[in-house]
Amino acid sequence: MDNVTVFDHPMITHKLTHLRDKNTGSKQFRDLVSEISMLMAYEVTRDLKLEEVEIETPMEKTKSKVLAGKKIAIIPILRAGLGMVDGMLNILPAAKVGHIGLYRDPETLEPVEYYCKLPSDIADRDILVLDPMLATGGSASAAIQYLKNKGAKTIKLVNIIAAPEGVKLIHDAHPDVPIFVAGLDEKLNNHGYILPGLGDAGDRLFGTK
Ligand code: PRP
Ligand code: URA
C-alpha cells in the first residue's frame, strides 16, 4: 500500500528481531524501543524543509542551511507510545510532547479515551503520532481524528510493527496520513494481536500483565 514506508535498514531489522524475542526482558525491551525510535526519527524527518542562513566559521563567512518552517509535536498514544518518546526527542530536542490516552477494550477491540493533553499551538505544528503497535488501527485512527478535530493538518503515524489490517484502516479513514514502520507483519489473530508481532507492547515495556 502506498501510504506505508517500511524501514529495512539492517540496524533497525537487527534490533526488531531482539524486540520480538519473548526472552527479551523489560529493560532491554525499553532500550530497544528507544533505539529503534531514534533510528526511525532520521527517516521520518527526511522531508523537513531547510532555509539558508549566513554564518561565520573560524575561517570565513559562508552560507549554510538550518531547519525552517513549522515546528514539530510528538504525540505518544499511552501507554506504549511513551516508550518511543525519548528516542525521538534525541533527534528532535525542540519538539513539544502531547499525550493521548487510549486503551483497547479487550472484548470489542474499540479504543476508549481516558486522557488528552496537547500543546496549545498544535494546529500549527507538524505532528508525529507514536505507538509501537498498529493492529486493527482503531486506536491510531481515533487519535488522528482527535488531533484533526483540534485543527491538526500535517500528521505522520510512526509505528514499530504494523498489521496490514491497521494500515488499510488508516489508509481508508485518513488517506492524508503517511505511516512509517520498522516491520510490516502478516496478520492479526482472533484477539486482534499481531502475528508474528511481539506480544503486548505496553506489558513488555512496563513489566505488567
Ligand atoms: C496497544 C497498542 C496500541 C493498540 C493497538 O495499546 O499500544 O495503542 O493496542 O491496537 P489497535 O490498532 O487494534 O487499536 P493497548 O490498548 O494495549 O493499551 P496500553 O498501551 O495501555 O497497553
Ligand atoms: N497491542 C499490542 O500491544 N500488541 C498487539 O499485537 C496488538 C495490539
Q: pLDDT tens for residues 174-206?
A: 999 999 999 999 999 999 999 999 999 999 999
Per-residue pLDDT, 88: 97
3-state helix, strand, coil in the chain (%, to 5): 35, 30, 35
133 lines ligand 2 (CB under 6 A): yes
Q: In angstroms, rounded to a whole number, what is the distance separating the alpha carbons of residues 73 and 98? A: 7
**Mutate-to-test residue for ligand 2 from 79, 102, 131, 133, highest number of ligand atoms within 8 A of CB:** 133
119 lines ligand 1 (CB under 6 A): no
Q: Which residue has the cell 573560524?
A: 58
Amino acid letter for position 23: N
Return the ligand 1 atom nearest residue 137 CA. 12
Mean pLDDT over each residue of the chain, to the nearest integer: 95
Contact 26, 204 (CB under 8 A): yes
pTM, entire model: 0.95
Amino acid letter for position 197: G
Mean pLDDT of 158-177: 97
Contact 170, 177 (CB under 8 A): yes
Per-residue pLDDT, 70: 75
Largest CA distance in the chain: 66
Residue 208, classed as helix, strand or coil, is coil
Contact 148, 178 (CB under 8 A): no
Question: What residues contact 173, with CB distance under 8 A and at least 6 apart?
Answer: 137, 141, 144, 145
* pLDDT tens by residue, 88-122: 999 999 999 999 999 888 889 889 999 999 999 99
Per-residue pLDDT, 44: 95
* pLDDT tens by residue, 52-95: 999 999 999 999 999 987 799 999 999 999 999 999 999 999 99
Residue 209 reports pLDDT greater than 90: no
Active site residue 13: no
* Residue 87: its H or E element: helix 85-91
Per-residue pLDDT, 2: 79
Q: In angstroms, rounded to a whole number, what is the distance separating the alpha carbons of residues 123 and 6? A: 27
* pLDDT tens by residue, 6-32: 998 999 999 999 999 999 999 999 999
- Measured in whole angstroms, the distance separating CA 65 from the mean position of its chain's CA atoms is 27
Active site residue 79: no
DSSP string covering 137-164: SHHHHHHHHHHHHTT--EEEEEEEEE-H
- Report the nearest-CA residue for atom 9 of ligand 1: 104
Q: In angstroms, rounded to a whole number, what is the distance separating the alpha carbons of residues 164 and 189? A: 12
80 lines ligand 1 (CB under 6 A): yes
Residue 156: which pLDDT band, with cuts at 50, 70 and 90?
A: very high
Return the ligand 2 atom nearest residue 204 CA. 3
Per-residue pLDDT, 8: 87
Return the ligand 2 atom nearest residue 200 CA. 3
Mean pLDDT of 151-165: 97
Question: What residues contact 112, with CB distance under 8 A and at least 6 apart?
Answer: 102, 103, 104, 105
